[in-house]
Structures are given as structure tokens and as C-alpha cells.
Amino acid sequence: MLGFIVRPPHELLSLLCPGLRIPRLSVLCAQPRLRAMAVSSSSWELPLVAVCQVTSTPDKEQNFITCAELIREAARLGACLAFLPEAFDFIARNPEETLHLSEPLGGNLLGEYTQLARECGLWLSLGGFHERGQDWEQTQKIYNCHVILNNKGSVVATYRKTHLCDVEIPGQGPMHESNSTIPGPSLESPISTPAGKIGLAICYDMRFPELSLALVQAGAEILTYPSAFGSVTGPAHWEVLLRARAIESQCYVVAAAQCGRHHEKRASYGHSMVVDPWGTVVARCSEGPGLCLARIDLNYLRRLRQHLPVFQHRRPELYGHLGHPLS
């Protein structure tokens, strides 16, 4: 079911900063092939982003069909940019299958998304592509690669996940990403898009605030954490971490997530969402595959940073630089 919500003003921020106008942002939550309800004309002045939630399996062809349906729906609803979660291409049963199904960036699958971006006239955040890099022959391992395509289908940014998830959570099963994946060597400078400057990260990266602070000091206005959170860490940490990253960085946070059971060995928490720079969840997906949409108000972000100038108040001489600006 498609919903329409208008977020009320933040009374607390108004009290802290008299005279600060807090915008009313429209939020849409949708399942595919549903019609949008009417939105006030003023809302259309703000860029609309779509956050897609899927249940990837080892079936790459079916995964593409599902993602393409959501992307076309996002375009029909007027989004300028659609975000897909980590492992949008597939979630395999074991490291061997992961390596077997992986492709280079110049492979067939990314070619299909390139064509889809052109067809829809939509920017795409492909949240975690299993990439065979140039060192594939030597390493026989892959990268977890976040790819940004513009509306002409060109690759304008790539970020390879720097923090690999090697953890053992009771009740959730072990995760040893490094069995098949190489950590990325560097961060990517924020990329300008129709929605704002986007800082790229992936899933487990959200547990490291130094990364988000480095991105915001490099100019990021939107942080994106495409993810596949588990069923134990999800309820405990997912929303808390995303809201914390938004508040401390004074950025929008966009988090497209995997949901449901992928196969007999793995399931994901879901709850894709958008958080504004005040830490308010302004859009979230319901259960199951679908999408949610939110408008990005960069004037609101700039006013918030002006009235609450935390980056001007930092004391690196006392505790060092938690996030060095990117070179």
C-alpha cells in the first residue's frame, strides 16, 4: 500500500534556534506498481530519492528483474536517484558460489544496469556489487564495490568496501567476508548528484564514525549505507547507528537494505530508511520488497549546520582528528 505522510516541524529545534524555519517534507512509502497520491506543489521543488528494498538470492537473473521493476517504479514516481542495497546482484550460499557468480565491472550485469539507467533517465546507487577486480587472476578474491551510475548510464564513482564484516554473533551465524573479499584501499570523494553530494559507504562501514566524518569534511551532504544487516544486529543496532551517523555528521543518511530469507543459510533484517540531518527517520520501507521515497532539502541541512556548528567547535588538539579530510 502506498502512503503519504507530511512530517511536522521539529519543535525542539525550533526552541533551540528561534526563527529557524523547519520545512515540511513529504514522505512516500510504496510497493511496486502502485500510484502515488497527490503531493503539494511546493514539495516538488525538492529532489526526490527512492530507496529500494529487495530479497536477493543466488538467482542473478531474477534479482535483476526485481530490481529493474523497482527502479522503473521509482522513475515513474519522479525520483531522480534510486538506491539499491548491498548484494543487489546476488547473495550466495557460500564463498565458493560467491566467487563463481561474481563479475567484473565491465561484465553483462552492470551493462544491463547501464542500459536501465539510460532507459529510465535515473541516477543509480548500486550498493554492493561483487566485483572481480583487475587483480582477480592473482588473488582469486573480489571487492564489495559500490557503483554510482548517472542518468546516461556512465560509471561516475566506485567505492570498494574498506571494513569487512568478520564477526560471529550468537543466534545470527558467523560472517567471514574476508574469505572471499579484499578490503578496499581508500575512500571515495563525495560525488555530486541531482540530490546532493553523496558520500559512499557500505553496511559494516556504518560502525566506524571516522569514515562518515571524513566524508562530511570532504563535502558530503548525503551518506549512503547500502546494507544486508542480520536478524540479531538489525533490531539492536540498525536504526540507532543510522541516526547517530546522521546527527554527528549533519547529513542525510540513505540506507537501502536487504530483507527476508535469501536461502536456507541466511536472512536479512530490512527496514530500509532515510534519516534527515536532525536524526529523524523521514521514510522507511514496510516489510518485504518494495521502496520508499523522500525529498532532500539541502537548504534545511545548511541552516541546521549554521545554527548548530559542531564542526567549528571541534578540538582536535585535545583528541586528534577522528576523521581526516580526504586528500
Catalytic residues: 86, 161, 203
CA distance 112 to 134: 21
Q: What does DSSP assign to residue 311?
A: G
Cβ pair 60, 90 in contact under 8 A:
yes
Chain CA centroid to CA 106, Å: 22
What angle do helix axes 209-217 and 233-249 make, rounded to 10 degrees?
30
Q: Which set of grid coordinates corresponds to residue 251?
A: 547529513
**Cα end-to-end distance, the chain, whole Å:** 45
Q: Do the bridges between strand 81-86 and strand 48-53 make them parallel or antiparallel, or are there none, so unpaired? A: parallel
Per 3-state DSSP, what percentage of the chain is helix, strand, and coil (rounded to 5)?
Answer: 30, 30, 40
Residue 318's CB: how many other CB atoms inside 10 A?
6
Cβ pair 50, 74 in contact under 8 A:
yes
CA distance 271 to 268: 10
The residue type of 98 is T
Which has the closest alpha carbon to 120: 100, 93, 85, 150?
150
Cβ pair 50, 78 in contact under 8 A:
no
Burial of 106 (0-12, 13-18, 19+ CB in 10 A): exposed
Q: What does DSSP assign to residue 71?
A: H
Q: Which set of grid coordinates corresponds to residue 230?
A: 542480520
